[in-house]
Structure 1
Amino acid sequence: MIDVIVAGPRGKMGTAALEMIAEEENLNLVGCIDRKNDQSRVKDIEGLPAFDALIYEDAEQCLRETKADVLIDLTTPEFGYKHTKASLNHGVRPVVGTTGFTEEQLQEITELCEENKLGAVIAPNFATGAVLMMQFAKWAAKHFPDVEIIEKHHDQKLDAPSGTAVKTAQLIKEERKSKRQGHPDEKETLQGARGADMDGMKIHSMRLPGLVAHQEVVFGGEGQTLTIKHDSMNRASFMSGVKLSCEKVMEINTLVYGLEHLLE
């Protein structure tokens, strides 16, 4: 049995994680971290599953009193970073779906994992299909060096571009020679029209109500295009990856960045 804390239980992703835990025999909720409802029971909060576990506004208190094995954090970059460091300092292994970590923060977390001999998983995307999309895009980049990424998310997402888009571009960069795409004299008549630039690749972000998480990687070649696309229709699509990460993080003693490293 793996004892779990969930940070952000009232968020859509956090609620989906609670619902997943309620269905899994090998996961046990021992506490939640939230900015409201201190010392309330999860079951007393409207819309949440009927768990007896307590809610804590103080993350340090929660980590100290619950004796958890794993912290699932699906909050924001700011709190995700703080919770990840705090959990490692308390001997709890973090599984984090929050994107927006800097290279310096990832290095710091790696060092904390190794100092404490604890595993951690940070995944830009927990959907298995999204991970496969990224791997297919990396493979395609060997043959199609001209590529643009279009990511679409709900209008409450705080970071742009998404962590999945950045991770995709990083994977493509491993296979693709750096180049500037488009006409050499291209000029934006409206700043930002061509999107963000990463090693010559363009990344476009869309934010609209009604969307969940969607991405297209579009490759162009002589007389042809190739589009690799993934759509998450609801947040349940991420939960198989969260469950897998909770299990695998118990077996590792370092930071794993990206769900692809846990898939067989």
Structure 2
Amino acid sequence: MKIRVAIAGARGKMGQEAVHTIMKQQGMELVAVLDYKEVGETLGDTDVFPDSFTVPVFLELAHLHRETKPDVLVDLTSPESVYEHTKQALDLGIRPVVGTTGFSDEQLKELTAQAECDRLGCIIAPNFAIGAVLMMKFAQQAAKYMPEVEIIEMHHDQKLDAPSGTAMKTAHLISEERQTHAQGHPNEKETLEGARGADYTGMRIHSVRLPGLVAHQQVMMGGEGQLLTIRHDSFNRGSFMSGVVLSVERVMELDQLVYGLEHIII
């Protein structure tokens, strides 16, 4: 039986890539998309998909659920709406696969408890690129031996949140191996506020936003006479699709919320 998939945010750049990817999967069926405004009755009525794309478009998730009964909702929308989408999907018995960042710690705790109570799978992935997940895991392992760390994340200039979810997830993983401590000279002083970046348990995180970038991150670890740099680059949004497909498949086997793709690939 094919996995019935709905996508929220199908007209965005990631969403468009996900539509084409899901439609190519033999074990999946794209049954609906969720949009925040009236764009037509089907994807073919929009200006970004061929007329032959007859997948229906809905403005409300409850209506979408009644009409199409999806197993999974792939959410690629914005930080402003993703929490409500995820919560409502769980309420409706739909398994969320979320690629949008911006959840607060309290929201994650609430969704984790809800998924566990309802015994529904939910995957929230700050980054769907397999290489980016490996970068995070390698950095976590290296931090045990090289705890002086700075993270530089670089994204396109239309990204809404900073630092990125990937940078925050990386910092969190590193903090599990690295004892909290301040880095740099104890009398260090910023002559321009923000010059040293954000402070996460003493690590520094720097965000770059420029046109032409997609998604890039490097973790720099310094030691006496040496520097280790672990870097990942996504040059196009196709780099995220293998993780989307894997997550849709694996979320059907889960009965709890999983935060981070590293928990299902390693």
Bin of the TM-score, shorter chain as denominator length: over 0.9
Q: Could you say what the CA RMSD is over the residues aligned between the two structures, in angstroms?
A: 1.1
Q: 2:15 is aligned with what amino acid?
A: G
Aligned length: 264
Determine if the alignment matches structure 1 residue 114 to structure 2 residue 116.
Answer: yes
SS of 1:89's equivalent? helix
| Counterpart for residue 35 of structure 1 | 36
| Counterpart for residue 68 of structure 1 | 70
Percent identity over paired residues: 60
SS of 1:262's equivalent? helix
What is the Cα deviation at residue 38 of structure 1? 5.1
TM-score norm. by structure 2 comes to 0.97
Contact 2:40 2:46 in 1 (8 A): no
Query: Structure 2 CA distance, aligned partners of 1:191 and 1:150?
Result: 17
5+ residue gaps, structure 2, are none
For residues 43-102 of structure 1, what are the alpha-carbon distances to aligned partners after superposition, in whole Å with 9 as ceiling and x for unaligned? Answer: 222222543111112222212322000000011112111110111111100000011111
Contact 1:123 1:258 in 2 (8 A): yes
TM-score norm. by structure 1 comes to 0.97
Q: 2:176 is aligned with what amino acid?
A: E
Query: Structure 1 CA distance, aligned partners of 2:130 and 2:63?
Result: 34
Query: Structure 2 CA distance, aligned partners of 1:170 and 1:33?
Result: 32
Contact 1:64 1:90 in 2 (8 A): no
Segments of 4+ moved more than 3 angstroms: none
Query: Structure 2 CA distance, aligned partners of 1:171 and 1:224?
Result: 22
SS of 1:84's equivalent? helix
For residues 159-190 of structure 1, what are the alpha-carbon distances to aligned partners after superposition, in whole Å with 9 as ceiling and x for unaligned? Answer: 00000000000011010111100001110011
Contact 2:100 2:126 in 1 (8 A): yes
Query: Structure 1 CA distance, aligned partners of 2:36 and 2:253?
Result: 31
What is the Cα deviation at residue 39 of structure 1? 5.0
Query: Structure 2 CA distance, aligned partners of 1:39 and 1:249?
Result: 30
Q: How does 1:15-54 map to 2 (within 5 A)?
A: 15-37=16-38, 40-48=41-49, 50-54=52-56
For residues 223-249 of structure 1, what are the alpha-carbon distances to aligned partners after superposition, in whole Å with 9 as ceiling and x for unaligned? Answer: 000000000000000000000000000
Determine if the alignment matches structure 1 residue 218 to structure 2 residue 220.
Answer: yes
| Counterpart for residue 183 of structure 2 | 181
Determine if the alignment matches structure 1 residue 166 to structure 2 residue 157.
Answer: no
